[in-house]
Structure 1
Amino acid sequence: MQYSGVNTNLKKITFIDSQTGWICGDSSVILKTTNAGGDYITFAQENHSAVTNNFSVSQNYPNPFNPLTRINYELSITNYVSIKVYDNLGNEVQTLVNEKQNAGSHSIDFNASLLPSGVYFYKLITENFSETKKMILVK
């Protein structure tokens, strides 16, 4: 599939009801449909600029988790950082980080004790980078 100038191989399709579904592919592409595949909107896509090599976000650990997990990330320069958690419908459920942070290694713990089991996504955003990863809460 040609998507926004990037060739993308689609890997997995998941529907949570008859209308709402997600497609995951290479290059961290996640597409969402709310009309049974008639149209898709971009939920996440890896930024392919040279700046992306200066930042990284790791897969949360443990994953699956109950109810605590940790997200590690690296900043090469001081930058404004936002990390938000979304449910499988794309609704924001919690903001974990929303501040300027110094360069270096960072980590944040996510406590999902008040949330139901399910698939969640966390998205790290800086001024020049964003990345989204999937995590699974199993109670």
Structure 2
Amino acid sequence: APVPELFSLRQNYPNPFNPVTNIEFELPVTTDVRLTIYNFVGQEINTLVNERTAPGTYRVTWNGLNSHGRQVSTGVYFYRLETNSFTDTKKMVIIK
């Protein structure tokens, strides 16, 4: 697969979702990557990726669980991709 030209964080799908959604991102270079889920007041819910990552296109699945393995409640959540030189945040909705 070709190496992406730009950093990108895509909208999750499906959205709204119950109970699982996919988050895709693209990296043009090797970089430290952190992909974190937050609730609507900004509290960290779970970290899905936290490692040095090679260039490429990645898909991460989130099962709606917090870092303690419990299902989160219905509502609005945010996911944030942070790298050494790029940060983006998008909104997603869990429905029951």
What TM-score bracket applies, with the shorter chain setting the length? 0.7 to 0.9
Once the two structures are superposed, the pairs formed by residues 1-139 of structure 1 within 5 Å of their partners are 54-112=6-64, 114-139=71-96
Provide the TM-score with structure 2 as the length reference: 0.88
Q: Deviations over 1:54-113 (max 9, x none)?
A: 200100000000010000110000111000000011000000000011101111000115
Number of equivalences: 87
C-alpha distance in structure 2 between counterparts of 1:89 and 1:97, whole Å = 21
Helix, strand or coil at the partner of 1:54 = coil
Q: Deviations over 1:33-61 (max 9, x none)?
A: xxxxxxxxxxxxxxxxxxxx720010000
Q: Which runs of 4+ in 1 moved over 6 A?
A: none
Pair member with larger Rg: 1
C-alpha distance in structure 2 between counterparts of 1:88 and 1:120, whole Å = 5
C-alpha distance in structure 1 between counterparts of 2:85 and 2:51, whole Å = 15
Q: Structure 2: any 5+ residue segments left out of the alignment?
A: 66-70
Kindly report the root-mean-square deviation, in angstroms, between the aligned alpha carbons of the 2 structures. 1.0
Identity in percent: 46
C-alpha distance in structure 1 between counterparts of 2:61 and 2:74, whole Å = 17
User: Residue 68 of structure 2 corresponds to which residue in structure 1?
Assistant: none
Higher relative contact order (CA closer than 8 Å, sequence separation 6+): 2
